[in-house]
Amino acid sequence: MATLGTPQHTIAILQKYNFRFQKKFGQNFLIDSRILDKIIKAAGITQEDFVLEIGPGIGTMTQYLCENARAVAAVEIDRNLIPILEETLGMYPNVEIIHQDILKMDLAQLAREKNCNAPIKVVANLPYYITTPIIMGLFESRMPLDGITVMVQKEVADRMQASPGTKDYGALSLAVQYYSYPKITAHVPPNSFIPRPKVGSCVIHLSKRQEPPLPVSDEKLLFAIIRASFQQRRKTLANGLQNAPGLPIGKELAMQALESLGLSPSIRGEALSLEQFIQLSNALKGMLVY
């Protein structure tokens, strides 16, 4: 079996199995070996590593992972790709193909069974519509994580590493930066894929934080405040918190908490750093009476 990662080999295997792309899975397969090399480098894959790959497709990246890692678990949701993967990965004894929805898997159990609960490196080529649920699901799972290296649409990558006060800064930026240090490592043009997407993509590496930048009194409250702050971006943060369903925070309390941190009562959420959101959340936690 020829190594994939070129247009001719990818087209040949797709034609052999009469494969039809399914829009619901957002399938775009890489055909650029230079980008594959960049992903391996960004992920820092070594012979000691156990790698979880999400959405292997026809096994293009998986082949590279198998050659560089100790073991690979490739989780694919599309049953039509399973026989293709069994052929393209048949020469590699260190890979396990898992036909499953990654969002429904017990990732902590996977780490225990496959990697003795040691940190796992995750690699994925994620479609736009499900990028955020998968990334957040990985962070919120109890699976020990080393880092996540993903191919995503450029606009999503920009949002992940955005800074306060910029147009891309929002709830996703804060959530990703709460759990990790994001860094875009490569820009990928549309012609690196079959079929060719309409927009550019990026490889972004999320290096897992060992702990949040500041101690957090109530993580659930913190994320509720962050979500409320960006649901109506043009409103002041105090008004956004007052109008948020399920948050027992009135405008006066919000303004009092902001003032206690030396922040203007008319400030908007987009101006606050992650550290300031944590400080605000901790202050409000101390003021709330449940």
- List the strands of the sheet with 50-54, edge to edge: 95-99, 71-76, 50-54, 120-125, 145-153, 201-208, 180-188
37 found inside a domain: yes
Q: Using CA atoms, how far apart are residues 123 and 104, in angstroms rounded to an integer?
A: 18
Among candidates 101, 96, 126, 155, which has minimal Cα distance to 30?
Answer: 126
**Given 208, 237, 262, which residue is the final one in a domain?**
208
**Tokens representing 102?**
């990654």
**Tens place of pLDDT per residue across the chain (290 aa):** 557 878 888 889 889 988 887 777 778 889 999 999 999 999 999 999 999 999 999 999 999 999 999 999 999 999 999 999 999 999 999 999 999 999 999 999 999 999 999 999 999 988 878 899 999 999 999 899 999 999 999 999 999 999 999 999 999 999 999 999 999 999 999 999 988 888 999 999 999 999 999 999 999 999 999 999 998 778 899 988 887 887 888 888 989 999 999 999 999 999 999 999 999 999 999 887 55
55 found inside a domain: yes
> For 66-122, how does the pLDDT look when each residue is reduced to its tens digit (9 = 90+)?
999 999 999 999 999 999 999 999 999 999 999 999 999 999 999 999 999 999 999
What single-letter DSSP state applies at residue 101? -
264 found inside a domain: yes
* Amino acid, single-letter form, for residue 224: A
* Amino acid, single-letter form, for residue 179: Y
What CATH number does residue 176 fall under? 3.40.50.150
3-class secondary structure, 290: coil
- In the chain, how many domains are there? 2
234 found inside a domain: yes
Considering the domain architecture, whether residues 137 and 223 belong to the same structural domain is answered as no
pTM value surpassing 0.75: yes
Q: Using CA atoms, how far apart are residues 213 and 217, in angstroms rounded to an integer?
A: 13
189 found inside a domain: yes
Other beta carbons less than 10 A from residue 105's beta carbon: 18
Cβ(139)–Cβ(122) below 8 Å? no
What CATH number does residue 275 fall under? 1.10.8.100
Range of the domain at 224: 219-287
